[in-house]
Amino acid sequence: MSATVNETLIRDVVAEVLGRLGGVSATAPVTTPAAASPAVNPACGCPAGKTTSSAKAASRGKCGVFADANEACVAAHEAYLQLSEAGVAGRRKVVELIKEICYAKAEEWGRLELAETRIGRLDHKIEKLQGQRGIPGVEFLNPYGLSGDHGITLEEYAPFGVIGAITPSTHSIPTMACNIISMVAAGNAAVFNAHPGAYKCAVTAARYFNQAIQHELGIENLACIVEPPTLESFNAIAKNELVKLLCVTGGPGVVQAAMASGKRAVCAGPGNPPVLVDGTSCLDNAAKCIVFGAAYDNNLLCIGEKEVFVLEPYFDKLMAALEKHGAFRLNNSQIETLAKAAFVFPPGQGAGCPHPVVNRDLIGKDPEVLAKVAGVTIPRGTQLLIGETTADHIFVEEEQMMPFLPVVRVKSVAEGVVASKKAEHGYKHSAMIHSHDVANMTAMGKALETTLFIKNGSCLAGLGSGGEGYSNFSIATTTGEGICNPRTFTRVRRCVMVDKLRIF
């Protein structure tokens, strides 16, 4: 008999004995300790008896890591009830713990994620974990109060319960960590399905988080994760009735899958952020910001500068400034050689007009790797490759997620705005302008309708690094919630006191 069978058998026997001691059979539903008396948990509306004693017993000692997605949902629901008991102080403690752990483990986990995914840059992976300190917590949830002749009304931000979360390959641990901070600050528990190419590091981090939470607060399985993640486990999470909300961070495929699930979903979808340079502002600053943003983590950020449109008279100056700030310019034939390797056309797709797919082997790779493919040797320390292309070039049209940035000449601001809008594909994600002309800024902002619109800064200024504001790695572009924060993961509930309690 295998060890797994023995473990399952032992669990079932223990559950059966515990069930009989309690006067109920092990398979009959029993209430959780946190929801001892009511048949329905008033906080989430879930039947309190949903957690069977055998499922509870099976979740013991897992530290949040589950092979079975449904089991993870049950355990997370139990944790959610425990968190409700722990109150706001409990949530605050969890938020502090996640932030402290991410800061302390930034280098170790940055290396772990890079070793597993082989995409991006270690220095930026470390920064993304240290930066969790800037994610908003419990303090973000200020209730909205009304006071008038008819008394007092309070609108409060209440939790959903269990949230199913899908994380990308591009920032696996950072997305999971900031999701936990936002979701738990709002009183929820979570079940994660990570990217199959980036899940091992996420499992390590989740286990550590859960151990720390249990040690400090006695709550088990507050941030569960499925190991290994599959499409089946995604479907199980999406279908599980204990999961009240989905939060997906990724490309078009997962957004479509989440929308089709029938469950309410917060969708942080793809982008292809354009930059417009009109020559009215400092070109050197524009170049510095563009190199910083596009080179960040080898251009893995969804908000990262992916193509530049510059007014013709300023093209040469901007190219020179980009080179000064660490970019290396490819010539036409090098760009075409790189493009041939960077995009693949899967057979059978597109019937005569095949749709290109970014070659995963080059996503997030260092500039040296891309340069080698392009057939050129570049100086050590090069941050980014750049090159002139047309507006309809594949590098402009596709979200390449690698450190090659196409730069396109345009004749007017109007042409630049139209080209930017086309390249952005209506994702309404992010866009940048370098300009001191308010009319140009306004025209681009109105035309593109992006969630983030940054003027005279790098894309990272949109997430609080060099600009005002808070940070998060899930930017709900598709469904419109914007940069995720604790309020994103709440239900608004109104409490009305008629004619009384107003003190004047």
Interacting residues with ligand NAD (CB under 6 A): 166-170, 194-196, 231, 234, 249-251, 253-254, 257, 268-271, 302, 399, 473-475, 477
* Contact assessment for residue 119 and residue 169, using Cβ atoms and an 8 Å cutoff: yes
In sequence order, what E strands does 108-211 have? 144-148, 151-159, 162-166, 189-193
Q: CB-wise, 271 or 403, nearer to ligand NAD?
A: 271
Q: CB-wise, 278 or 481, nearer to ligand NAD?
A: 481
Q: CB-wise, 137 or 229, nearer to ligand NAD?
A: 229
Q: Tokens at residue 245, please? A: 């909300």
Closest distance to ligand NAD from the beta carbon of 78 (Å):
25
Closest distance to ligand NAD from the beta carbon of 318 (Å):
25
Closest to 231 measured CA to CA, from 214, 206, 250, 203: 250
Q: CB-wise, 148 or 348, nearer to ligand NAD?
A: 348
Is the N-terminal amide bond of 367 cis, ω within 30° of 0? no
Closest to 331 measured CA to CA, from 390, 374, 370, 362: 374
**Consecutive H or E run containing 247:** strand 243-249
Q: CB-wise, 84 or 167, nearer to ligand NAD?
A: 167
* Strand 189-193 relative to strand 162-166, pairing: parallel
Instruction: Give the residue at shortest CB distance from ligand NAD.
Output: 250
Closest distance to ligand NAD from the beta carbon of 249 (Å):
5
Q: CB-wise, 234 or 395, nearer to ligand NAD?
A: 234
Closest to 362 measured CA to CA, from 353, 371, 352: 371
Closest distance to ligand NAD from the beta carbon of 377 (Å):
29
Q: CB-wise, 404 or 473, nearer to ligand NAD?
A: 473
Closest to 209 measured CA to CA, from 187, 225, 232: 225
Burial of 262 (0-12, 13-18, 19+ CB in 10 A): exposed
Q: Tokens at residue 394, please? A: 């594949």
Closest distance to ligand NAD from the beta carbon of 255 (Å):
8
* Contact assessment for residue 227 and residue 66, using Cβ atoms and an 8 Å cutoff: yes
Please report which residue ranges of 148-282 form alpha helices under DSSP H. Answer: 172-185, 199-217, 231-239, 252-260
Closest distance to ligand NAD from the beta carbon of 476 (Å):
7
Q: CB-wise, 190 or 410, nearer to ligand NAD?
A: 190
Closest distance to ligand NAD from the beta carbon of 80 (Å):
22
Q: CB-wise, 254 or 290, nearer to ligand NAD?
A: 254
Q: CB-wise, 77 or 195, nearer to ligand NAD?
A: 195
Closest distance to ligand NAD from the beta carbon of 57 (Å):
30
Q: CB-wise, 196 or 350, nearer to ligand NAD?
A: 196
Closest distance to ligand NAD from the beta carbon of 344 (Å):
15
The conformation of residue 402, written as its DSSP 8-state character, comes to S
Task: Provide the sign of the torsion angle of the four alpha carbons 455, 458, 459, 465, taken in this order.
Answer: negative
Q: CB-wise, 19 or 120, nearer to ligand NAD?
A: 120
* Strand 430-434 relative to strand 151-159, pairing: unpaired
Euclidean distance between CA atoms 431 and 450, whole angstroms:
7
* Contact assessment for residue 219 and residue 213, using Cβ atoms and an 8 Å cutoff: yes
| 274-277: strand order across its sheet | 327-329, 384-388, 404-410, 307-311, 274-277, 430-434, 452-455
Closest distance to ligand NAD from the beta carbon of 319 (Å):
26
CA angle 23, 26, 28 (to 5 degrees): 80
Cβ neighbours for 296, distance < 8 A, ≥ 6 positions apart: 121, 124, 304, 458, 459, 460
Closest to 202 measured CA to CA, from 234, 248, 233, 171: 171
Closest distance to ligand NAD from the beta carbon of 335 (Å):
22
Closest distance to ligand NAD from the beta carbon of 192 (Å):
9
